[in-house]
Amino acid sequence: MELSDSSKVEEQKNGVKGFRQTDTEFENFVPVLLEMARNATRTPSELTRISALQILANLSLKDNLRPQLVSHGATNFFLEIVRKMSPSLSSVESQRLAAKGLVNLVSNRKDLRMQVVSELTEEIKMIYRNQLDAVVASYIQTLLH
């Protein structure tokens, strides 16, 4: 291995470390992001609320941030949006983002996945009646399998 190869390996290791450090920095902002997405009076811009929701859905991909998201109530928040019970975020785009976040959040916890599936019984019926958005339906079907 040449000197240049070893420096590339070191750069790759530092890059991974940098990503992990960035992930831990997001832990502090999970409650703030949930509040921004949830509260229409404090965050009047729907674009800002959807952006916060998108960030939360993407953060749910990170294994080390999932417990933080669950402990701050992201699971229930995502469920509210998928079930169209959230007055602040009721668009199809927000439903899709919430469904994505929900699938990512419960992907490695069978007990939590079963709880979510039991909460979504009406939406599962809507899938079979073809009354639900196709993208949201595919995310929910992913939970079932």
User: How many Å from the N-terminal Cα to the C-terminal Cα in the chain?
Assistant: 45
For residue 1, is it within any domain?
A: no
The pLDDT assigned to 141 comes to 92
Kindly state the tokens that stand for 29: 């902002």
In a domain, 70, yes or no: yes
Which tens digit of pLDDT belongs to each residue from 24-36?
Answer: 677 778 888 999 9
| Residue 37 placed within a domain | yes
20 vs 49, residue with greater confidence: 49
Nearest to 59 by CA among 26, 107, 98: 26
Residue with tokens 């939590």: 112
Mean pLDDT of 72-99: 85
Asked if the structure places residue 36 within a domain, the reply is yes
86 CB contacts (<8 Å, ≥6 apart)? 38, 77, 80, 94
- Which range has the worst mean pLDDT, 70-74, 82-86, 120-124? 82-86
Q: How confident is the model at residue 7 (pLDDT cuts 50, 70, 90)?
A: very low
Determine the structural domain holding residue 120 and report its residue range.
11-144
pLDDT for res 3: 45
Measured distance CA(71)–CA(51) in Å, rounded: 21
109-128: pLDDT as tens digits: 888 999 999 999 999 998 88
> Which pLDDT score, from 0 to 100, does residue 40 have?
77
- Determine the pLDDT at residue 1: 43
- The answer as to whether 93 is a domain residue is yes
Is 107 a member of any domain?
A: yes
Q: How many domains does the chain divide into?
A: 1
For residue 6, is it within any domain? no
